Amino acid sequence: MISTNQFRNGTHIDVDGTIFKIVDFQHVKPGKGPAFVRTKLKRSTDGNVIDKTFRAGEKFRPVRTEARKMQFLYADGADAHFMDLQSYEQMAIPEAQLVESLRWVLPSEEVDLLFVDERPADLQLPSAVELEVSETEPGVRGDTASGGGDKPAKLESGVSVRVPLFVNIGDRVRVDTRSGEYIARA
């Protein structure tokens, strides 16, 4: 059993028969009354995020998770298609379930697909990815008052991010997959 004091971001728990991934949690000890844990939970079946509060010390059934190396083949609007790299078996997962994660993945790229209780649930992304800039306006020298500044850029996967003025089309950039922010030029 997993207690609320063992919560970690990314841990999966079973709450009333539904499997959730802990996105964020906060232990709260008010001056008056019992302690409690405020959480943001992501439902593994459809990706909806809910806020839920638990009493401190409450226990939950741990959920068995396993990451398998898969190749992302393509997304056709309804499903995302993957191939197991050991058995070459293909599987389709509803695209709506992976919409946030798929923004950072290119077709034919190798990914870690997370299985929760033997069912595919989510992609395990690295904290940062390297992608090529496909569209951006040219940065003009003296364009900013403070010497800094940024501009919108579209990456090869279709994601739009803010990048510094010196980044041009064709440059490879590192982007944080959690916040969607530019980190550095690669």
Range of the domain at 84: 65-124
Same-domain status, 78 and 96: yes
Q: State residue 172's pLDDT score.
A: 92
Report the distance separating Cα 161 and Cα 24, nearest Å.
24
pLDDT tens column, 11-46: 888 888 888 888 899 999 988 889 999 999 988 777
Same-domain status, 10 and 52: yes
- Mean pLDDT rounded to a whole number for the chain: 85
pTM of the model: 0.68
Task: For residue 19, count CB atoms less than 10 angstroms from its CB and return exposed for 0-12, middle for 13-18, buried for 19 or more.
Answer: buried
Same-domain status, 134 and 167: yes
Same-domain status, 136 and 94: no
- The number of distinct structural domains making up the chain is 3
Same-domain status, 11 and 29: yes
Same-domain status, 141 and 180: yes
Same-domain status, 146 and 106: no
Same-domain status, 6 and 56: yes
User: What's the CATH number where 80 sits?
Assistant: 2.40.50.140
Q: State residue 40's pLDDT score.
A: 92
Structure-token pair, residue 174:
């590192």
Q: State residue 68's pLDDT score.
A: 87
pLDDT tens column, 133-153: 999 888 766 655 555 678 889
Q: Among 29, 44, 62, which residue terminates a domain?
A: 62
| Residue 38: strand pairing partners | 26, 53
Same-domain status, 116 and 137: no
Same-domain status, 99 and 83: yes
Asked whether 186 and 145 are in contact (CB, 8 A), the reply is no
